[in-house]
Amino acid sequence: MIDDLWYKNGVFYCLSIGTYMDANGDGIGDFKGLLRRLDYLHGLGVTAIWLMPFQPSPGKDDGYDISDYYGVDPRYGTLGDFVEFTHGCQQRGIRVIVDLVVNHTSDAHPWFRDARSSPDSQHRDWYVWADKKPASASKGMVFPGVQKSTWTHDKEAKAWFFHRFYDFQPDLNTSNPYVQAEILKIMGFWIQLGVSGFRMDAVPFVISTKGAKVRTPVEQYDMLRSLREFLQWRQGNAIILAEANVLPETDMEYFGKDGDRMHMMFNFHVNQNLFYAMASADSRPLAKALKATKPRPASAQWGLFLRNHDELDLGRLSKAQRAVVFKNFGPDKNMQLYDRGIRRRLAPMLGGDRRRLELAYSLMCTLPGTPVIRYGDEIGMGDNLDLPERNCARTPMQWSTEPHAGFTESDKPCSPVIDEGPYGYEHINVAKQRRDPNSMLNWTERIIRMRKEVPEIGWGDFRVIATRDPAILAIRYDWRNNSVLFVHNLDEKPREASFSVGLAGDEGKHLINLLSEDHSEANDRGKHALMLEAYGYRWYRVGGLDYLLKRTDIDGVNANHPE
């Protein structure tokens, strides 16, 4: 495998333009403002930005309700500004992927307006209709507790329409060939404007069969191949990163047995088990999740994340496991959402404990995949539980101690900045942390740099190393005649870890610490004994620092001969 598939070994950063610079229509901020923030992201070292929806939208679901796929919301600027932005990224070697939200449109989209106007309208069949209320109307809601139904009656259309999400987000009839052609056209458009791919929203629902008569929706996986085929023809190195919270046994359906479907998927399975591991200090279910999600084509990659802009969805854990995570990270009802998740930001979930934050980040950076950082987590931003639903973790970026955290000069920012308590902008902001060598921001910057120096994680084969202590997770990666090893202590108490690296010969004897001077030598029986402090983590190179000289040009010729 040629090792220039850029997404296999990068550091992604997710942001929404509206929370980076205030899009309040005063002409300051928007894409022009974002362009000015690029040097910050360049300094942080991220290799790709995932830009959340910025197209014209009534904004009832933070832009995931699009009313024009070929434009920029005027609050954020113009298409001209957008191209200046992608160009600015390119200049700095940063790639951009944008959201592709095509499971549904906004009900304000001209297609839906036309569709509802008459049964004979050109766009009628672009949506999913029923004459009578379907029996399944009270099933399959994505936002239980908030969303009442998946079918809503439309007076103008004199019919019911299907919406997997909120009632202002009518589902597109994605089986309609005209809709399919339009989706390709949307991709082609943004590719032409300088993006390197898409974060595809709600993929299982996009490819699902939809309709009043559909009892059990079936995924039409072939659609994924058509999307990829088109993209690869238009731009060979563009990718799709799929949002698909699915069970491990269907992973290969999404990646494609021959690697001919999605390039990347978010690893929701590992995400949930990772939070369970941190809450319980038991690494075993996480190790199991890593093994379950191991099979994937060589060209495919996982997106590894801690928190995103939605709730932390714990729906796939057992009831008992979920209860443990709730108890530790979101005990109040107000912190929980949709009967399955936690809506807080990472830092408050971990009690603002720097040791736990570093542990969490160290895990995200060293588990198999490409890390995806949520904006603001690099400075340990907090949340505002007074804001409804998921909005509590979508507050503006805290840039400085200036009014409104330097987010806007206006008196009325479109979204309130956190201005009180320990996470208020006067305490937590970029400018302050930039000046402090020991800040979270500077730690994150260093860990990103180190992550980029360890391509073994993105490219290599991994195995979980037995330590006999459930609180310890040890993983080794092998790639092109080199190995690296990562050890994490999930417990609040110090732990002694004893293990053998599992490589034949003398190779596993020396472990060179990449983050401190604390190296390790194996004893006579080839075992390492480490004393890990509470929440401690270690990044080691196996052998010496001659790894660049030892690295082979092709895979599968490890002189180490893993057992």
CB of 309 to ligand NOJ, least distance (A): 6
Chain residue at closest Cβ approach to ligand NOJ: 64
Specify the residue for token string 């995103």: 308
Answer yes or no whether residue 165 interacts with ligand NOJ by CB under 6 A. yes
The residue type found at 125 is D
Q: Pick from 3, 6, 28, 416: which binds Ca ion (CB under 5 A)?
A: 28
Answer yes or no whether residue 219 interacts with ligand NOJ by CB under 6 A. no
Which residue's CB is nearer to ligand NOJ, number 147 or number 220? 147
Which residue's CB is nearer to Ca ion, number 34 or number 335? 34
Which residue among the candidates 65, 201, 251, 491 is catalytic per the annotation?
201
Which residue among the candidates 65, 243, 310, 378 is catalytic per the annotation?
243
Residues in Cβ contact with 450 at an 8 Å cutoff, skipping those fewer than 6 apart: 365, 514, 515, 539
Answer yes or no whether residue 396 interacts with Ca ion by CB under 5 A. no
Q: Pick from 31, 64, 338, 361: which binds ligand NOJ (CB under 6 A)?
A: 64
Q: How far apart are CA 455 and CA 5, in angstroms?
A: 12
Answer yes or no whether residue 202 interacts with ligand NOJ by CB under 6 A. yes
CB of 214 to ligand NOJ, least distance (A): 20
Which residue's CB is nearer to ligand NOJ, number 337 or number 441? 337
From residue 296 to residue 325, the character string flagging contacts with ligand NOJ as x (rule: CB under 6 A) and all else as - is: -------------xx---------------
Answer yes or no whether residue 61 interacts with ligand NOJ by CB under 6 A. yes
101 binds, among ligand NOJ, Ca ion, none (CB under 5 to 8 A by kind): ligand NOJ
Q: How far apart are CA 472 and CA 493, in angstroms?
A: 11
Residue 470 phi/psi, 5-degree rounding, is: -60, -20
Answer yes or no whether residue 107 interacts with ligand NOJ by CB under 6 A. no
DSSP character string of 364-398: HHHSSSEEEEETTGGGT----TTS-GGGGG-PPP-
Angle made by CA atoms 381, 31, 56, in degrees to the nearest 5: 100
Answer yes or no whether residue 35 interacts with ligand NOJ by CB under 6 A. no
HSE-CB at 317 with a 13 A cutoff on CA atoms is 27
SS (H, E, C) 168-237: CCCEECCCCHHHHHHHHHHHHHHHHCCCCEEEECCHHHHCECCCCCCCCCCECCHHHHHHHHHHHHHCCC
CB of 23 to Ca ion, least distance (A): 6
Residue 229 phi/psi, 5-degree rounding, is: -55, -45
379 binds, among ligand NOJ, Ca ion, none (CB under 5 to 8 A by kind): none
Q: Are 358 and 365 in contact (CB under 8 A)?
A: no
Q: How far apart are CA 352 and CA 110, in angstroms?
A: 46
Which residue's CB is nearer to ligand NOJ, number 8 or number 104? 104
CB of 74 to Ca ion, least distance (A): 12
CB of 111 to ligand NOJ, least distance (A): 16
Answer yes or no whether residue 18 interacts with Ca ion by CB under 5 A. no
Hey, which residues does 371 pair with through a beta bridge? 304
Q: How far is CA 119 from CA 116, 135, 180, 183, in A?
A: 7, 22, 21, 23
CB of 319 to ligand NOJ, least distance (A): 24
Total interface residues for Ca ion by CB under 5 A: 5
CB of 402 to Ca ion, least distance (A): 14
CB of 360 to ligand NOJ, least distance (A): 21
26 binds, among ligand NOJ, Ca ion, none (CB under 5 to 8 A by kind): Ca ion
Q: How far apart are CA 460 and CA 162, in angstroms?
A: 44
How would you classify the pairing of strands 264-266 and 301-305? parallel
Which residue's CB is nearer to Ca ion, number 21 or number 281? 21
Answer yes or no whether residue 22 interacts with Ca ion by CB under 5 A. yes
Q: How far apart are CA 443 and CA 379, in angstroms?
A: 9
- Identify which range of 28-36, 50-58, 93-101, 495-503 contacts Ca ion by CB under 5 A: 28-36
Which residue's CB is nearer to ligand NOJ, number 202 or number 501? 202
Phi-psi region of 468 (alpha: psi -120 to 50; beta: other; left: phi over 0): left
Which residue's CB is nearer to Ca ion, number 28 or number 214? 28
3-state secondary structure of 12: strand
3-state secondary structure of 152: strand
165 binds, among Ca ion, ligand NOJ, none (CB under 5 to 8 A by kind): ligand NOJ
Q: Pick from 24, 55, 293, 336: which binds Ca ion (CB under 5 A)?
A: 24
Instruction: Provide Rg for the chain, Cα atoms.
Output: 24
Answer yes or no whether residue 26 interacts with Ca ion by CB under 5 A. yes
Answer yes or no whether residue 201 interacts with ligand NOJ by CB under 6 A. yes
Known active-site residue 243: yes
61 binds, among ligand NOJ, Ca ion, none (CB under 5 to 8 A by kind): ligand NOJ
- Strand spans (E) along 294-446: 301-305, 312-313, 336-337, 341-342, 370-374
Total interface residues for ligand NOJ by CB under 6 A: 9
Q: How far is CA 253 from CA 187, 236, 244, 470, in A?
A: 22, 22, 11, 32
Q: Pick from 29, 45, 303, 368: which binds Ca ion (CB under 5 A)?
A: 29
Known active-site residue 99: no
Answer yes or no whether residue 412 interacts with Ca ion by CB under 5 A. no
How many residues does this entry show for the chain?
563
Binding residues for ligand NOJ, rule: CB under 6 A, are 61, 64, 101, 165, 201-202, 243, 309-310
Binding residues for Ca ion, rule: CB under 5 A, are 22, 24, 26, 28-29
Catalytic residue IDs: 201, 243
